[in-house]
C-alpha cells in the first residue's frame, strides 16, 4: 500500500510549483510527469548512470533516487533552467560548437554534472584539466561512446 499523498511547494528553475504525490515519489517523475520538464532523462532508475542529474541548491544529485520528501525548500534546477536568458550555459555552447554529442540522451545529465565545476573554474580564472573532468564525469554513462569529445568540450568550456 502506498503512503498518503502530500502536497509540496517546490521552487523549480526559479518558479514556485505545487505538486501532490506520494512522499517517496522520485523527483525525476515529478519533474517529467507532473511538471512536463522532460529534458531530465530516465536511464537506470538506480543512481548509476547520471542521466537524471539535476541540481538541488546548485549541487548535482540523481533525481531518480531523490524522494520528494527530501527536497524540502532546496532550489531545484533542471536542464531547462541552465541557459542564461537566450545565452546557453558555456558547457551547452561548447557541446554544440564541438558537435560533441551523438544521440544526446546523456547530455542533460552531463551538463548538470559539469556545469558547477566549469562555473567554479571560470570564476577562479583557471581552466580545468582533462583528468579532473574525467573524474567528475565518471558516473555519467554515454552509450554512444563519445566521452572523449564530451570531455574535450567541457575542458574548453572552462576556459575563462
Report the distance separating Cα 120 and Cα 99, nearest Å.
24
Smallest gap from residue 80 Cβ to ligand FES (A) = 17
Q: Which stretch binds ligand FES (CB under 6 A): 1-9, 119-127, 136-144, 151-159?
A: 136-144
- Regarding beta strands 75-77 and 6-12, do their DSSP bridges make them parallel or antiparallel, or are they unpaired? parallel
Produce one character per residue of 16-36: b if its CB has 16 or more CB atoms within 10 Å, e if not. Answer: ebebebeeebbbbbbbbebbe
Smallest gap from residue 100 Cβ to ligand FES (A) = 8
44 binds ligand FES (CB under 6 A): yes
71 binds ligand FES (CB under 6 A): no
When binding is defined by CB under 6 A, the residue of 64, 91, 115, 154 that contacts ligand FES is: 64
Smallest gap from residue 18 Cβ to ligand FES (A) = 24
81 binds ligand FES (CB under 6 A): no
Q: What is the DSSP letter of 160?
A: -
- What Å distances lie between residue 33 and 37, 58, 100, 107, 117, CA to CA? 8, 23, 29, 20, 29
The site for ligand FES (CB under 6 A) is made up of 42-45, 47-52, 62, 64, 101-106, 142-144, 146
Amino acid at each position: 500500500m502506498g503512503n498518503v499523498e502530500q502536497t509540496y511547494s517546490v521552487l523549480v528553475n526559479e518558479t514556485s510549483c505545487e505538486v501532490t504525490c506520494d512522499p517517496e515519489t522520485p523527483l525525476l517523475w515529478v519533474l517529467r510527469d507532473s511538471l512536463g520538464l522532460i529534458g531530465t532523462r530516465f536511464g537506470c532508475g538506480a543512481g548509476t548512470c547520471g542521466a537524471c542529474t539535476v541540481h538541488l541548491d546548485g549541487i548535482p544529485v540523481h533525481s531518480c533516487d531523490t524522494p520528494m520528501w527530501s527536497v524540502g525548500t532546496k532550489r531545484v534546477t533542471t536542464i531547462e533552467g541552465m541557459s542564461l536568458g537566450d545565452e546557453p550555459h558555456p558547457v551547452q555552447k561548447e557541446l554544440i560548437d564541438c558537435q560533441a554529442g551523438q544521440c544526446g540522451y546523456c547530455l542533460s545529465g552531463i551538463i548538470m554534472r559539469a556545469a558547477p565545476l566549469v562555473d567554479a573554474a571560470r570564476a577562479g580564472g583557471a581552466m580545468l584539466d582533462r583528468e579532473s573532468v574525467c573524474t567528475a564525469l565518471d558516473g555519467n554513462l554515454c552509450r554512444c561512446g563519445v566521452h572523449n569529445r564530451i570531455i574535450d568540450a567541457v575542458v574548453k568550456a572552462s576556459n575563462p
